[in-house]
Amino acid sequence: VIRVYCKIIKDCNEHIGTLLVHHDITEEYEIAQMKSEFVSTVSHELRTPLASVLGFTELLLTKELKPERKTKYLQTIYNESKRLTALINDFLDIQRMESGKQNYEKKYIDLSSIVQNVIELQEINSSLHKITYSVELDNAIILGDRNKIEQVFINLLSNAIKYSPKGGNISIRIYGSKDQVIIDVKDEGLGIPEDAIPNLFQQFYRVDNSDRRRIGGTGLGLAIVQEIVKGHDGKISVSSEYGKGSTFTTHFSRVTMSANKENEDRDAS
């Protein structure tokens, strides 16, 4: 996209030349375009849960309802409000990351203890899946932002749970080498169709197959994961067999230190 500035140069009313300045504004234009797409997607995504909150509130206010009905409607309002809050948090995260305003507070952190905490938290929330965990490194220290790295594994593990049947097996394995930590989050759930894989980490992308249409989500979880992993100079990949299960693999640079636990959470500066 080119913006052209044109000036006619005159001397004593006589046209002596024309000045043309071409300015490439492709990047500016693309950013504006992305912003407007983002705003319209956000509005669209917020409208659906908001409409059901409004609809059910109106029913509760205007109709004589049996107590069981009332409870059912209130439960829907509660669930949709929770979904709205989750959506807004995801939007804010993605916006912050995209605008480059995401500050990572990097310290020496041990990925094995972070992953273990995330598993414990998930097990408190849902005990319907069997989660196994193995660590093959004596320490898995990286330079990273504890909260953000936690977010990565919360998103990956909650997807593994969400897209697996109740009672499904999920395994997390930490391994690697002298200079890298690799983490696999593996499930035996719905799997991902091959043609969906290239789009998986795009914002708002959701696989629209009948097997998962009823499972809620924003399509932002994996985009957030990818941004955080990139912000730590790491890598993420996925391998999956449709109908059998998926494995999400993250790679981070391992910090080799003589001491281990003592260095955890120590400032990197």
| Residue with the shortest CB distance to ligand ADP | 217
222 binding ligand ADP? (CB under 6 A): yes
Near ligand ADP by CB under 6 A: residue from 107, 146, 173, 212: 212
122 binding ligand ADP? (CB under 6 A): no
Query: Between residue 227 and residue 266, which ones bind ligand ADP under the rule CB under 6 A?
Result: 246
**Measured from the CB atom, is 189 or 234 closer to ligand ADP?**
189
**Measured from the CB atom, is 142 or 220 closer to ligand ADP?**
220
**Measured from the CB atom, is 163 or 252 closer to ligand ADP?**
163
Q: Which stretch in 39-47, 117-125, 136-144, 189-197 sits in contact with ligand ADP by CB under 6 A?
A: 189-197
218 binding ligand ADP? (CB under 6 A): yes
**Measured from the CB atom, is 157 or 174 closer to ligand ADP?**
157
217 binding ligand ADP? (CB under 6 A): yes
Q: Which stretch in 15-23, 101-109, 118-126, 205-213 sits in contact with ligand ADP by CB under 6 A?
A: 205-213
**Measured from the CB atom, is 141 or 200 closer to ligand ADP?**
200
**Measured from the CB atom, is 115 or 160 closer to ligand ADP?**
160
Picking from 248, 230, 229, the residue whose alpha carbon sits closest to that of residue 238 is 248
84 binding ligand ADP? (CB under 6 A): no
189 binding ligand ADP? (CB under 6 A): yes
Who's near 30: CB < 8 A, 6+ residues apart? Answer: none
200 binding ligand ADP? (CB under 6 A): yes
**Measured from the CB atom, is 158 or 263 closer to ligand ADP?**
158
Binding mask 128-167 for ligand ADP (x = CB under 6 A): -------------------------------xx--x----
Minimum distance from residue 191 beta carbon to ligand ADP (Å):
6
181 binding ligand ADP? (CB under 6 A): no
Q: Provide φ and ψ at 241, rounded to 5°.
A: -125, 120
The 3-class SS string of the chain reads: CEEEEEEEEEECCEEEEEEEEEEECHHHHHHHHHHHHHHHHHHHHHHHHHHHHHHHHHHHHHCCCCHHHHHHHHHHHHHHHHHHHHHHHHHHHHHHHHCCCCCCCCEEEEHHHHHHHHHHHHHHHCCCCEEEEEECCCCCEEEECHHHHHHHHHHHHHHHHHCCCCCCEEEEEEEEECCEEEEEEEECCCCCCHHHHHHCCCCCCCCCCHHHCCCCCCCCHHHHHHHHHHHCCCEEEEEEECCCEEEEEEEEECCCCCCCHHHCCCECC
What's the chain's Rg over C-alpha atoms?
A: 25
Who's near 105: CB < 8 A, 6+ residues apart? Answer: 145, 146
The contact set with ligand ADP (CB under 6 A) reads 159-160, 163, 187, 189-192, 200, 205-207, 212, 217-223, 246
